[in-house]
Amino acid sequence: MAFETVSELRVRYAETDQMGVVYHANYLVWCEIGRTDFIRRAGKSYADLEREGVLLAVSDAALRFHASARYDDPIRVCTALTHVGSRGMTFGYRIQRADTHVVLVSATTSLVCINRDGRLTTLPRDVRSWLERAMLGGANDVDGA
């Protein structure tokens, strides 16, 4: 079974349009929250990866909208790492209302590894192995132990 993290938040007023509905671009921000939480719970932080010279850039994003979120709704972002390759990875997301479990958005983002000059590069072998373990294992048992 794949490892999945859950991040919870509440819709802020600034994330809504004039009608009180969440503006579509904010779902990408919530995906970033989920991705960052996933990596941290798997044993590292984005800052740790960057210190190791691993810079990740979003190369593709796809969102499918199922229902609307509104101001002050409780939100749950479920995140899983679905693919790890030699130069990047793909995350899947299920964004739902935390209280009703209604799926609002299903999404994926693909990230590639780049160097400090912004050029595509290979994921270091140890980082790729760690991510593969994270994809299948879970928090606490994926940090190389």
- Tens of pLDDT, residues 93-133: 999 999 999 999 999 999 999 999 999 999 999 999 999 99
Q: How far apart, in Å, are the Cα atoms of 79 and each of 1, 2, 37, 40, 113?
A: 13, 10, 9, 12, 20
- 18 contacts: CB under 8 Å, gap ≥ 6: none
In the sheet that holds 74-84, the strands lie side by side as 4-10, 74-84, 88-97, 103-114, 55-65
Mean pLDDT of 62-81: 98
**For 22-68, what is each residue's pLDDT tens digit?**
999 999 999 999 999 999 999 999 999 999 889 999 999 999 999 99
Residues 6+ apart with CB under 8 A from 62: 107, 108, 109
pLDDT attached to residue 138: 57
Quick one: pLDDT at residue 139?
46
DSSP 8-class letter at 22: B
What's the mean pLDDT in 68-95? 97
Tokens 């790729």, located at residue: 128
Residue 49 has a pLDDT of 92
Catalytic residues: 17
Which residues have C-beta within 8 Å of that of residue 132, sequence separation ≥ 6? Answer: 84
